[in-house]
Amino acid sequence: MNTEYEIPVYNIEVRKAVLNGDDHPELEDKWADTHLIVVRAKTPEEAIAICRRKHPEKMGFVFGDVMEA
């Protein structure tokens, strides 16, 4: 049975751009702020793996601690 998990996510590259008064070339400025991404998974580890597929760290996404929703 899957559980709902919340993962805080923001983008460090967007955050840097916004702090410098610039726009990121690909992502909206809203990614400078933390978003709670809700994922259904069997474990917290699986939840973060699912989130990383859509929001890869190599693109500047940063993840906080996974919490049960």
List, run by run, the mean pLDDT of 10-residue segments along the chain (69 residues): 97 97 96 98 97 97 97
* Overall number of domains in the chain: 1
- 0.85 exceeded by the pTM? yes
Q: What is the pLDDT of residue 54?
A: 96
CA distances from 22 to 9, 19, 38, 47, 62 (A): 20, 7, 29, 32, 20
Q: Domain range for residue 41?
A: 3-68
Strands 35-41 vs 3-11: parallel, antiparallel or unpaired: antiparallel
Other Cβ atoms within 10 Å of 16 Cβ, number: 13
Per-residue confidence (pLDDT) for residue 57, from 0 to 100: 97
Query: Can you give the pLDDT at residue 52?
Result: 97
> With contact defined as beta carbons under 8 Å apart, do 15 and 61 qualify?
no
